């Protein structure tokens, strides 16, 4: 029987959905339908539209957690930070927890999310049992793997709001122990792919169980896989929310222990390594930078301020330095091609370090808009920063070369950041004909912005 608190949360949810639907009705006919939200984890600006947006202010929480059935009903705008806070007391976690605290569950499902359990649990949408979606036509439908709206269920992932917005999602959960024991294993580039494939097949490395896998390449001569296992006890636990920095520890120690909560958010404190750009890794500044402000959403706001006002860019030009191109991407490369891509990337782009995260679809079917091959192991390669624009080159040239190289290595690229594909190439890579068929059913008047327009032309 549901608890009193669950019933209250369900009532609050129903009222929030009512406000959402009312806000849809207030948007003038013919005007685009968008979310009214202040923040985003996307790295592509969009054209500002001066029209009312959808009121999602009441859709930010966890409705209920079922510790016996290992499921949770979660509102679409709930952050993973709040979701994890509700599941960890039960010794449970979502099957995939993206690295940054303020990524929302709805955003990860309609976009993309990858983390160290993805080598066995796939992508966040693969743990969704059902979801309620407000479509472009204003209809609220419940989509499941089977039934009337199965086409929407299958096509919603990676649609980035072009098919609608999730108001409620029921997801699977899995156990997590109080601690995570880590091993940082140094490997050569040519050893990475085979080691990952072996871990995927056996679930072990050097005769020890492996429950979490990711890695960092600091240079072609220095690469690590970080292997985690659930543990009920810890020799000691490290704290990387203070003076110490997690990614640097990978080079400094071969083993480590973190609490489950600290493990899940190990990358958020310093936004992987990107906090160095803001001075947050300077030991003197770090001592006075409040811990509560050392987190990814704060850095994202600083980036947003810079994008609007170009303060650092103007200073850079006054010093006679070339303008810089933003290169913020995550790409999936087949494990067998990983070493070749990493060597190409280091020689042609030269950004260091880069993040590695193995990924394998959980099920035996590909998803229409992000067509990875079932039963094939990929490795997400993440790189986030800027590079100087060479004389005679244009902003975007490096990103275009990366897009071409990803295709040459039989890979695939996520769409949370800048994309430069022409329309025909984009439609082919992201199966837009399949999207269009479903969109014609659920958004016949094209109230929602199309996927190409969102990802490439930034509308």
The confidence score (pLDDT) of residue 1 equals 43
CA distance 276 to 283: 11
Q: Is the pLDDT of residue 135 over 50?
A: yes
Cα 69–Cα 257–Cα 68 angle in degrees, nearest 5: 5
Nearest-angstrom CA–CA distance, 246 and 266:
7
Buried-state track 406-433, b at ≥16 Cβ within 10 A, e below 16? beebebbbbbbbbbbbeeeebbebbbbe
- Residue 10 to residue 2: CA distance in whole angstroms: 10
Average pLDDT, whole number, for the chain? 94
Give the pLDDT mean for 154-164: 97
The residue-averaged pLDDT of 5-33 equals 93
**Total-model pTM:** 0.95
Listed in order, strand segments (DSSP E) in 242-374 are 255-259, 324-334, 354-359
Q: What average pLDDT does range 287-312 have in this prediction?
A: 91
Task: Tell me which residue of 252, 281, 249, 276 sits closest to 262, measured CA to CA.
Answer: 249
Closest to 224 in 3D by CA, of 121, 315, 116: 116
Residue 15 DSSP label: H
pLDDT per position as a tens digit, 238-294: 999 999 999 999 999 999 999 999 999 999 999 999 999 999 999 999 999 999 999
Kindly report the length of the chain: 459
What domains does the chain contain, in order, with CATH numbers? 4-176+440-455 (3.30.465.10), 310-420 (3.30.70.2520)
């Amino acid at each position: 029987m549901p608890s009193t608190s669950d019933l209250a949360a369900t009532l609050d949810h129903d009222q929030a959905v009512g406000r959402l639907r009312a806000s849809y009705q207030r948007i003038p006919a013919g005007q685009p339908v968008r979310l009214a939200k202040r923040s985003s984890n996307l790295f592509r600006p969009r054209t500002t539209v001066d029209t009312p947006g959808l009121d999602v202010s009441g859709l930010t929480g966890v409705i209920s957690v079922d510790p016996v059935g290992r499921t949770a009903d979660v509102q679409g705008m709930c952050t993973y930070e709040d979701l994890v806070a509700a599941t960890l007391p039960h010794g449970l976690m979502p099957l995939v927890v993206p690295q940054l605290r303020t990524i929302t569950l709805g955003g990860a499902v309609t976009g993309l999310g990858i983390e160290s359990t993805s080598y066995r649990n796939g992508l966040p949408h693969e743990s969704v049992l059902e979801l309620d979606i407000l479509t472009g036509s204003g209809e609220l439908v419940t989509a499941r793997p089977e039934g009337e709206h199965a086409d929407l269920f299958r096509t919603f992932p990676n649609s980035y709001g072009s098919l609608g917005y999730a108001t409620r999602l029921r997801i699977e959960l899995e156990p997590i122990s109080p601690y995570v024991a880590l091993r940082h294993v140094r490997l050569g580039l040519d050893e990475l792919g085979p080691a990952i494939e072996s871990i995927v097949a056996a679930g072990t490395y050097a005769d020890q169980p492996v429950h979490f896998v990711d890695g960092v390449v600091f240079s072609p001569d220095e690469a690590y896989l970080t292997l985690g296992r659930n543990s009920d006890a810890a020799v000691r636990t490290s704290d990387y929310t203070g003076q110490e920095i997690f990614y640097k520890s990978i080079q400094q120690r071969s083993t480590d222990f973190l609490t489950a909560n600290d493990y899940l958010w190990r990358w958020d404190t310093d936004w992987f390594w990107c906090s160095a750009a803001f001075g947050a890794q300077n030991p003197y500044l770090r001592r006075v930078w409040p811990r509560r402000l050392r987190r990814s959403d704060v850095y994202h706001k600083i980036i947003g301020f810079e994008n609007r006002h170009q303060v650092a860019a103007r200073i850079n030009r006054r010093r006679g330095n070339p303008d810089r191109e933003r290169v913020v991407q995550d790409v999936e490369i087949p494990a067998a091609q990983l070493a070749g891509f990493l060597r190409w990337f280091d020689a042609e782009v030269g950004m260091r370090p880069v993040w590695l995260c193995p990924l394998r679809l959980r099920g035996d079917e590909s998803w229409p808009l992000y067509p990875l091959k079932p039963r094939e192991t990929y490795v997400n390669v993440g790189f986030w920063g800027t590079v100087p624009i060479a004389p005679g080159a244009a902003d975007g040239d490096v990103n275009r070369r990366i897009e071409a190289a990803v295709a040459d290595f039989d890979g695939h690229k996520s769409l949370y950041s800048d994309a430069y594909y022409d329309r025909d190439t984009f439609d082919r890579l992201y199966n837009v004909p399949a999207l269009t068929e479903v969109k014609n059913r659920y958004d016949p008047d094209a109230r929602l912005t199309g996927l190409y327009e969102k990802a490439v032309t930034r509308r």
